[in-house]
């Protein structure tokens, strides 16, 4: 037998130093290639040492073409697709240059003509008169500033040379009574929990711009803000519980204090995971996002949310994948109609397509037709009942044929049950009723993608900050992520929303339902109108 290669423990720093030593003998292209190879080796070594790493995860990370589109999956499997060329799509909005209307958050400055007024004689023809047009001419100007700015007011002091009394000038109007304005807390929260910008990174940026703002001060500011606007988060939970469709899933999220608690318990506890659960509730076209971090699974957090659901409402639809921890454990009085994610079932076939290209092609193209029909329903803005009838007419026959084909593969022993394809088929057949609820229930959706996208906010935090230090930190993060992402789902401005919640904390505590992301602007208008009337 051949002996294994001798193991050498080399740190990444030592490898980088060796690469730098070899740099004089290489051209720039060769140096970059060698540096990339060393970094790839370091990442692979770290992944291989992890017990959670699988061969499939290595292929996904280092393989080319990560997209799961049917055409790309089949192409990687060596199957040419004879799909007719699609008509060119119109250019999606939001790319390239933007018009003035795109700058909704910009200050508007009205500039009057320097020499003409509406009704004045025309200086060109001397016969007509000029009148104001509905659409003004526009100029857009952008300037760079620090995320958080500071103003130092130098108040003049006068001292009597006889009695010693000192007279200090009053602060100008608009200086405010507090050192940190409400907008400071809002900006820190948006950067930290909306864009994944760690506090120490913001502190370094502000310090470089001459405005010291330590991470500890930032944390105190957002903590105080979190207490003041907590009623809005509680109201979000209550209203999310009344939803027609609730999506839920979770992702791992380290919390150092909980990790130490788990280690102290040793073998006493069978549960060692820490998660951030994402819940997206949909009702009447409005979506609410909630985040909960701790030792509870997504199903348990969903069960806690639904305890505040009105008993007069019908059972909601729950969309999740087939993991048992995603199902809520609730009293018999509270029921849900469980629907499973078709994208998860499809992914199982994507993973085995290189080994079973022909069979997987049939499944992927069949499911592709269903997704096409669902896209048409969204494009035409069909009601839940109209969407159900549309799917029954167009997707129903496709799914019936697919079910017959899947059943035949196992019953006629065309597929080895223990193979990758056999496992994918068994999964699809086992959860067929839940995977095809969209063919029987109005309002049922076909996948859990909306929750997967919401969880990317928590994943962004994990990538940039790595962990939460304490449970309190996780609670604050959940509160702000929930409010910020709900604003984005509703098309509201999260910075303005968080600022207004702070400035109207008293009214928020009394009537939190009037200060939700979708109605707070109406509440502000009514409040200002009543003040003007008074």
How many CB atoms sit inside 10 A of residue 337's CB?
17
3-class state of residue 476 by DSSP:
helix
Residue 95 lies in a domain: no
3-class state of residue 475 by DSSP:
helix
Domain shared by 328 and 455, yes or no: yes
Do residues 436 and 402 make contact, with C-beta atoms less than 8 angstroms apart? no
- Tens digit of pLDDT per residue, the chain (534 long)? 455 556 666 777 777 788 888 888 888 888 887 877 877 777 777 667 666 566 666 666 655 446 777 777 777 666 766 655 556 666 665 556 777 778 877 888 888 888 888 888 888 888 888 888 888 888 888 888 889 999 898 889 999 888 889 989 998 888 888 889 999 999 999 999 999 999 999 999 999 999 999 999 999 999 999 999 999 999 999 999 999 999 999 999 999 998 888 887 766 667 788 999 999 999 888 999 999 999 999 999 999 999 999 988 899 999 999 888 888 876 665 788 999 999 999 999 988 888 888 888 999 999 999 999 999 999 999 999 999 999 999 999 999 999 999 999 999 888 888 888 999 999 999 999 999 999 999 999 999 999 999 999 999 999 998 889 999 999 999 999 999 999 999 999 999 999 999 999 999 999 999 999 999 999 999 887 765 555
Domain shared by 361 and 502, yes or no: no
- Domain interval for residue 372: 342-445
Please work out, in degrees rounded to the nearest 5, the angle formed at the alpha carbon of residue 307 by the alpha carbons of 302 and 313: 100
Domain shared by 237 and 335, yes or no: yes
Helices (H) and strands (E) in the chain, counts: 20, 7
Domain shared by 239 and 330, yes or no: yes
Residue 413 lies in a domain: yes
Number of domains forming the structure of the chain:
2
CATH number at residue 474: 3.30.420
Residue 352 lies in a domain: yes
Q: 472 forms bridges with which residues in the sheet?
A: none
Domain shared by 331 and 454, yes or no: yes
Task: Dig out the tokens for 349 from the structure.
Answer: 């076939």
Domain shared by 435 and 461, yes or no: no
Domain shared by 455 and 406, yes or no: no
Residue 187 lies in a domain: no
Domain shared by 491 and 455, yes or no: yes
Domain termination site, one of 419, 445, 471: 445
Residue 297 lies in a domain: yes
Domain shared by 459 and 322, yes or no: yes
Q: 251 forms bridges with which residues in the sheet?
A: 276
How many CB atoms sit inside 10 A of residue 514's CB?
17
What sections of 255-352 are H helices per DSSP?
A: 256-265, 298-306, 342-352
From residue 334, give the alpha-carbon distance in Å to each of 159, 249, 305. Answer: 73, 20, 11
Domain termination site, one of 445, 470, 487: 445
Torsion (CA) 168, 170, 175, 181 in degrees, nearest 10: 60
Handedness of CA 463, 469, 470, 476 (dihedral sign): negative
C-alpha 366/C-alpha 349 separation (Å) is: 12
Residue 240 lies in a domain: yes
Buried b (16+ CB within 10 A) or exposed e, 273-298: ebbbbbbbbbbeeebbbbbbbbbbbb
Do residues 347 and 370 make contact, with C-beta atoms less than 8 angstroms apart? no
Domain shared by 306 and 434, yes or no: no
Residue 23 lies in a domain: no
Domain shared by 464 and 497, yes or no: yes
C-alpha 226/C-alpha 498 separation (Å) is: 10
Domain shared by 320 and 354, yes or no: no
Domain termination site, one of 414, 445, 476: 445
């Amino acid at each position: 037998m051949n002996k294994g290669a001798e193991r050498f423990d080399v740190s990444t720093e030592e490898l980088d130093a060796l690469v730098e030593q070899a740099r004089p003998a290489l051209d720039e292209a060769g140096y970059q290639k060698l540096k990339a190879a060393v970094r790839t080796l370091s990442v692979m070594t770290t992944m291989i040492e992890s017990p959670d790493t699988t061969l499939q995860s290595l292929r996904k990370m280092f393989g080319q073409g990560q997209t799961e589109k049917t055409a790309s999956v089949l192409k990687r499997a060596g199957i040419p697709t004879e799909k007719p060329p699609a008509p060119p799509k119109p250019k999606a909005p939001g790319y390239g240059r933007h018009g003035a209307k795109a700058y909704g958050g910009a200050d508007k400055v009205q500039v009057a003509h320097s020499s003409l007024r509406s009704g004045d004689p025309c200086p060109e023809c001397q016969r007509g008169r000029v009148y104001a047009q509905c659409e003004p001419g526009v100029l857009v100007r952008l300037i760079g500033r620090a995320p958080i700015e500071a103003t130092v007011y130098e108040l003049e002091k006068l001292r009597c040379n006889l009695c010693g009394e000192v007279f200090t000038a009053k602060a100008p109007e608009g200086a405010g009574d507090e050192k940190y304005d409400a907008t400071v807390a809002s900006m820190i929260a948006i950067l930290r929990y909306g864009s994944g910008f760690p506090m120490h990174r913001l502190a370094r940026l502000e310090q470089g711009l001459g405005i010291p703002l330590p991470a500890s001060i930032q944390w105190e500011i957002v903590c105080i803000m979190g207490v003041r606007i907590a009623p809005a988060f509680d109201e979000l939970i209550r209203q999310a519980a009344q939803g027609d469709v609730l999506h839920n899933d979770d992702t791992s999220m380290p919390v150092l204090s909980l990790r130490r608690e788990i280690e102290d318990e040793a073998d006493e506890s069978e549960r060692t995971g820490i998660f951030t659960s994402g819940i997206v509730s949909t009702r009447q076209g409005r979506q609410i996002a909630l985040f909960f971090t701790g030792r509870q699974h997504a199903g348990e957090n969903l069960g806690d949310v639904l305890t505040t659901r009105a008993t007069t409402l019908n059972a909601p639809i729950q969309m999740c994948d087939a993991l048992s921890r995603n199902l809520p454990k609730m009293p018999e009085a509270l029921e849900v109609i469980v629907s499973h994610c078709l994208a998860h079932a499809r992914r199982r076939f994507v993973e085995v397509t290189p080994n079973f290209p022909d069979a997987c092609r049939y499944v992927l193209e069949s499911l592709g037709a269903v997704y096409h029909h669902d896209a048409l329903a969204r494009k035409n803005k069909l009601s839940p009942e109209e969407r159900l009838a549309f799917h029954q007419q167009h997707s129903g026959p496709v799914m019936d044929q697919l079910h017959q084909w899947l059943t035949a593969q196992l019953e006629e022993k065309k597929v080895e049950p223990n193979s990758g394809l056999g496992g994918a088929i068994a999964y699809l057949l086992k959860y067929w009723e839940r995977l095809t609820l969209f063919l029987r229930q109005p309002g049922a959706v076909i996948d859990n993608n909306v929750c997967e996208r919401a969880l990317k906010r928590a994943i962004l935090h994990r990538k940039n900050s790595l962990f939460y230090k304490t449970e309190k930190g996780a609670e604050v993060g959940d509160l702000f992520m929930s409010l910020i992402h709900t604003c984005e789902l509703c098309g509201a401005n999260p910075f303005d929303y968080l600022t207004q919640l702070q400035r109207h904390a008293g009214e928020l505590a009394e009537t939190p339902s009037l200060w939700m992301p979708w109605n707070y602007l109406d509440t502000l208008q009514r409040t200002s109108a009543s003040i003007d009337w008074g």
